[in-house]
Structure 1
Amino acid sequence: MPYFERLDEQTWGPTEHVGGAWNTAEQHIAPALGLLAHLVELDQAQRREERLPLARISYDILGVVPVEPCTTQVRVLRPGRTVELVEAALRHGGRDVVLARAWMVAEGETAQLAATDLPALPAPEELPAWPARDVWPGGFIASVQVRRAQEHPGRARFWVRTDVPLVDEQHSAVAAFLGLADIANGMTVRADPRAVLFPNVDLTAHLFREPEPGWVGFDTTVSFGPGGHGLTSSVLHDVHGPVGTVAQSLTVRPLG
């Protein structure tokens, strides 16, 4: 059973694997972000002969989403032969709940220039398994495997993978990869989530190469400021090395 099942051309039904961590009656937003990436790529495949890979995707999370069917819309904001900007929306109850904007950029031959100074992660098998379900409830967290080395709360390196397909139709490794990216904010908590809420209101991912299927690696730092704001910053990896970065803006809310 996938995270989402297509119900009609624009409607998607979440399955039990989408249950949230802050509230199990709400969707964990991670699979929805992967779904929107899939729809951006699918729209492009239907319009164009030449594929433009995704270089950046930025999501604004406008509200919580119940574990109920949602509709989607895709539109091209800036068409082009080598560069496009595409927007996708997830809607529930007549309103947008997540907006995504993706820059799609043509490939070029730069193999001789390819390099990065971003440090590598230990291989997944070199890190111990970590039971994320001991910290977080919900169907999404239950659907993933985590291997983690934590230096201290708010700083860790970890790998995540799932055997659950993103959707019940063919989709790319990039969309599946982005369907796990939002998990970063909960894998090395700086504060006990029973005492402090710190949900993210956005997520922006930049990719300088396309990831391979399988494990998604994170080199993550969580920062809290003095005025109720926070930031979770991660370098993203596949098993061959770094592929990009992801950042999440947090609203930090102590309870009690």
Structure 2
Amino acid sequence: MTQNTSRHNDNAQDSPESYFTLDHVETVTEGDNSTKEYRFTATELTASPWGQGFQHGSPPAALIAYLLEVGAHDAGLSTHDGRYARMSVDLLGAVPLRTLFGRITVIRPGRRISLLEAVVSDAQGRQCIRGRGWWLTDRDTTEVERSVARRIPGPEQGTPATQWLQHWSSGYIDSIDAIQVELPDNSSQKHDDFAPGNAYAYWARSSYPTVAGSPETPWTQLMKVVDIANGLNPELLSVKEWTYMNVDMSVYLHRMPVGEWTGILAEANYGPDGIGTTVARIYDTSGPIGSVNQAIMLAPVS
């Protein structure tokens, strides 16, 4: 898709082919502890529609996934024996469209269960985004496999999500493909006692790698797009009248996704006090794979 380069930044590449470039890795020693520090440059593909010089939440969330998987490999955790079951991301502040530094820590080591943390900071040392992942040993449980979720049409049955895309334009938004699919009527699954359920689901993908020269994994491919879940109810609130920014994201996968498309069936829940939640089911083209939750700060445009 066409790139938007209106938010130019001296540190970002003019003709990017990835969201980030990995510029340097060094070992940092603090007292008796040593850790690797990764230096990245953000490209214009990360640019947010919410503010000039800042990133959309999806690319740095994918960068957290990249770091967590690097950390798992360095800790001796093999994808032949296990995987991440959950990744959570806390957005500690606006992520600048500049040089970033990442570090990884094993919080809870273990042979069957491990907890890892990745932190991304700016050049001044301010932490911008923090993520944690639970790594679990896997085993064959095919005989009890089940997924409980509403069925959604595949991306081949949809149309470009112009109603959603027309509300924003930025390097990131222009880097993804988004498809809207109309949900078949199923009155038993509508929330008739409260607000009605969403009439549409969405499919999204990005063909740009998270980090230049590094192959995508199912987790990074997914994390490049799932942060858009909080904005997938454009018929509910006008972006000219309301802002609804998420401050976090927790993604759970009961099955690893296959393929480049991520399906998102998002439900926006807004409380009476300016706080809301997005609760979404996520899919690959074979069916449900997990869920994503976000805490939302809701405010009228002043």
TM over 0.5: yes
Unpaired stretches in structure 2, ≥5 consecutive residues: 1-16, 26-37, 184-194
State the secondary structure of the residue aligned to 1:71.
strand
2:62 corresponding residue in structure 1: 34
1:115 corresponding residue in structure 2: 146
Once the two structures are superposed, residues 51-108 of structure 1 have per-residue CA deviations (whole angstroms, 9 ceiling, x without a partner) of 3301011111111112111101100000000110001011112111111011000111
Match of 1:15 among 43, 66, 80: 43
Q: Quick check: 2:205–2:260 contact (8 Å CA) kept in 1? A: yes
Q: Quick check: 1:12–1:70 contact (8 Å CA) kept in 2? A: yes
**Alignment CA distance shift 1:138-1:153 (3 Å):** farther
Q: Tell me, in whole angstroms, the C-alpha distance in 2 between the residues paired with 1:173 and 1:49.
A: 16
2:253 corresponding residue in structure 1: 207
**Alignment CA distance shift 1:153-1:251 (3 Å):** farther
Match of 1:226 among 269, 272, 297: 272
Q: Tell me, in whole angstroms, the C-alpha distance in 1 between the residues paired with 2:77 and 2:48.
A: 38
1:69 corresponding residue in structure 2: 99
- Following TM superposition, the consecutive aligned residue runs of length 4 or more in structure 1 with deviations greater than 3 angstroms are 149-154
Give the number of aligned pairs.
Answer: 256
Once the two structures are superposed, residues 40-61 of structure 1 have per-residue CA deviations (whole angstroms, 9 ceiling, x without a partner) of 1111112215333010111111
Q: Tell me, in whole angstroms, the C-alpha distance in 1 between the residues paired with 2:142 and 2:93.
A: 41
1:160 corresponding residue in structure 2: 204
- Name the TM-score, length of structure 1 as normaliser: 0.95
Q: Tell me, in whole angstroms, the C-alpha distance in 2 between the residues paired with 1:91 and 1:154.
A: 38
Q: Tell me, in whole angstroms, the C-alpha distance in 1 between the residues paired with 2:224 and 2:44.
A: 15
1:96 alignment partner AA: Q
Q: Tell me, in whole angstroms, the C-alpha distance in 2 between the residues paired with 1:134 and 1:60.
A: 27
**Which of the two has higher C-alpha Rg?**
2
RMSD: 1.7
1:61 alignment partner AA: L
Match of 2:181 among 145, 149, 153: 149
Q: Tell me, in whole angstroms, the C-alpha distance in 1 between the residues paired with 2:93 and 2:240.
A: 21
Q: Quick check: 2:85–2:134 contact (8 Å CA) kept in 1? A: yes
Once the two structures are superposed, residues 221-248 of structure 1 have per-residue CA deviations (whole angstroms, 9 ceiling, x without a partner) of 1111110001111101011110000011
State the secondary structure of the residue aligned to 1:101.
strand
Q: Quick check: 1:70–1:91 contact (8 Å CA) kept in 2? A: yes
Within 5 Å, give how 1:165-204 maps onto structure 2.
165-168=209-212, 169-189=214-234, 190-204=236-250
Q: Tell me, in whole angstroms, the C-alpha distance in 2 between the residues paired with 1:35 and 1:161.
A: 16
Once the two structures are superposed, residues 120-179 of structure 1 have per-residue CA deviations (whole angstroms, 9 ceiling, x without a partner) of 210101111112431112111101111113679983311001211111112312222112
Q: Tell me, in whole angstroms, the C-alpha distance in 2 between the residues paired with 1:161 and 1:153.
A: 27
1:172 alignment partner AA: T
**Alignment CA distance shift 1:154-1:203 (3 Å):** farther
Within 5 Å, give how 1:79-90 maps onto structure 2.
79-90=109-120
**Alignment CA distance shift 1:5-1:191 (3 Å):** same
1:176 alignment partner AA: Q
2:72 corresponding residue in structure 1: 44
Kindly indicate whether residue 35 of structure 2 is the aligned counterpart of residue 6 of structure 1.
Answer: no
Q: Tell me, in whole angstroms, the C-alpha distance in 2 between the residues paired with 1:38 and 1:195.
A: 35
Q: Quick check: 1:19–1:28 contact (8 Å CA) kept in 2? A: yes
Kindly indicate whether residue 98 of structure 2 is the aligned counterpart of residue 103 of structure 1.
Answer: no
State the secondary structure of the residue aligned to 1:175.
helix
Q: Tell me, in whole angstroms, the C-alpha distance in 1 between the residues paired with 2:203 and 2:18.
A: 21
Q: Quick check: 1:177–1:213 contact (8 Å CA) kept in 2? A: no
